[in-house]
Structure 1
Amino acid sequence: MTIKEVREKIQKRLKKSGIEDFEYEAWALLEWKLGIGRAEYFMDPDRVIPDEAWEDLNAVLREREQRVPLQYLMGSCEFMGYSFDVDERVLIPRQDTECLVELAVEKIREREEEHTCRVLDLCTGSGCIGISVKLLCPEAEVTLADVSEGALDVAKKNAWNLGASVRLVQGDLFENVQGTYDYILSNPPYIPSQVIEELMPEVRDYEPRLALDGTGDGLYFYRRITEEAVYYLNSGGCLLFEIGQEQGDDLLSIMKEQGFEETEIRKDLAGLDRIAMGRWPGKKEP
């Protein structure tokens, strides 16, 4: 087959499988499995590929038709311009989450305190949030924490691959976290349990339920983290969450009830509520 025929076949099969972004994914598969980018494609679309090359690509295509996420098939995902390894043990990094990193980096760079900035990335998963912060703010001390040992294995590999010196802690939220921090960042599970079955197959059937399920109303982990964060934040420290687009008002109430000040919601590029943040006025003793 020619590469033009291959591309058309991929697009047709992906579209039939219900994959909305079938055109982009066809290009991605061509480049990944055949090493053919768009420029090379248009220079010679009638170039014939070997049968074994098609067989290799077709095997991956069959998995994608079963709605296995493309990022899991490729084993990587781009986030903040960095390539992160991903597999079924971690949530696939989303572009929306970059808003959390960008805001954290902005706040860290505005700091006037002389002591080293300490950052905790809670529910770290692949480590994309904390590692990106470390790469963009090398002077910060960054700790990654997660309940899943498998997720921390992925995060450890990503930190090594990207040259980020971070500390990793395994435990249920703050269970094994030590010391206090200037910034606590978290993208916790926040999807209500009853909504998960309505999600697209890639998410519902393949991404870890542990990283998705926020229990009954989706706010369980926000409540726990906010209640416990006050013992781990320095005076004037900030708590920053990624949130679902309809959770902003609830998060503001939760944070205010715990005594956080300067609470606010930041929107993403689509104009949807995406980040909840608040400042802790004074450290509590356990």
Structure 2
Amino acid sequence: MYLYNEILDENVFGHTKKVVLFREAIERVRSSKASGLLHILDIGCGSGYAVTRFLAKGQDKILGVDMFPPNIEYANSKFSDDNLTFSCIDARELLLDKKEFDVIVLADILEHLSSPQDILDTAMDLLAPNGRVVITVPNGKGPFEIESAISKAPWLGPALIRVTDLIVSFLDKYIVKKAWTSYANRTPKDLPYNIDNGHVQFFAKSEIIDIIKKSGLEIDTMRNLSFLSGPFTNYFFAPSKRFCKWNTDVADVLPHWLASAWYFECYKVKDRA
């Protein structure tokens, strides 16, 4: 079920900004297609809840693939229809059918892979002429990864999480009543999450650019997604729409090294030759 005319509220991670940037890239590709119909692939689509179901419109064909079975089971039960499908396969299997896609989405997936170069090479091989690969990835040295590392530090991490929980519980009960409770209730309780598939890559800007270019892709656009994010920022500020908007807006004027995550829009080098 497409939800192109809807979108989730922004969060501290810039997830809604990410979807908007993906849509803008998709429309740029659409403008070069005579039929206007696009084939879109979302590699590592998860449950389809946050990104996949918001991307396509009209008669676009979109396929989400993910290797975690509960994700695909959830996506198929909630969102699939004739034009929006989900499959629990390795994206490399699509090469056997000589598939091509006009837009390929890699949303927050490369940091989870032991060999991110392989999936970028696969995306390159699956990309149709004049198509786009759109990528989001955390800044491996940015605020998000720093907060995450602190939250996992022995003794300090659990202590800070406990203090944060106490402060938020007090605020939710006495100051901004039920703000955090209401926010938590927006996310479906049955939404699957692969807790065993954490980050194994912590890219510097030069590193992620290098592996993108090694695959035969060239970067057309790079953008910052958000400034502050991570478990503590999310816990304190998730209910605040004003903070979330400021957090994504200010990221646009910050140097790349200060962003929590980056967006890349890429094309085949030979398309511009």
Equivalent of residue 237 in structure 1, options 117, 120, 131:
131
Q: Which has the higher contact order (CA 8 A, sep 6+)?
A: 2
Q: Distance in 2 between matches of 1:278 and 1:157?
A: 32
Go from structure 1 to structure 2 and tell me whether the alpha carbon gap of 1:263 and 1:255 turns closer, same or farther (over 3 Å shift): farther
- Partner of residue 217 from structure 2, selected from 239, 256, 260: 260
Q: Secondary structure at the match of 2:22?
A: helix
Counterpart Cα distance in 1 of 2:40 and 2:14 = 20
1:132 to 37, 51, 54: 54
Question: What is residue 224 of structure 1 aligned with on the other side?
Answer: 118
Find out whether 1:184 has 2:184 as its counterpart: no
CA distance in 1, matches of 2:269, 2:118: 19
Structure 1: gaps spanning 5 or more residues: 1-78, 83-92, 192-212
Q: Distance in 2 between matches of 1:255 and 1:236?
A: 17
Q: Match of 2:19?
A: 101
2:267 corresponds to 1:276: no
Measure the CA separation in 1 of the matches of 2:208 and 2:267: 13
**One-letter code of the match for 1:257?**
K
The within-5 A match list for 1:103-182 is: 103-110=21-28, 111-115=31-35, 116-127=37-48, 128-134=50-56, 137-160=57-80, 165-176=83-94, 178=97, 179-182=99-102
How far 1:157 sits from its partner (Å)? Answer: 2.3
Cα distance in 2 between the residues matched to 1:190 and 1:259: 16
User: For the Cα contact (< 8 Å) 1:122–1:188, is it kept in 2?
Assistant: no
Deviations 1:7-29 (A, max 9, x none): xxxxxxxxxxxxxxxxxxxxxxx
Distance across 1 between alignment mates of 2:82 and 2:53: 6
Per the TM alignment, residue 156 of structure 1 is displaced from its structure 2 partner at its CA by: 1.3
Q: Structure 2: how far apart are the matches of 1:123 and 1:131?
A: 13
Equivalent pairs: percent with the same residue? 15
Q: Give SS of 2:21's match.
A: helix
Mapped contact 2:219–2:264 kept (Cα < 8 A): no
Is the contact made by 2:45 and 2:64 (CA closer than 8 Å) also made in structure 1?
Answer: yes
2:18–2:225: 8 Å Cα contact kept in structure 1? no
Structure 2 length-normalised TM: 0.53
How far residue 182 of structure 1 moved from its aligned partner, in angstroms, is: 0.9
Moved over 3 A (4+): 188-191
Q: Per the alignment, do residues 125 and 257 of structure 1 end up closer, same or farther by CA in structure 2, a change over 3 Å counting?
A: same
Across the aligned residues of Structure 1 and Structure 2, the Cα RMSD in angstroms comes to 2.7
Aligned residues: 165
Q: Which amino acid aligns with 1:175?
A: E
Whether contact under 8 Å (1:236, 1:281) holds in the other structure is no
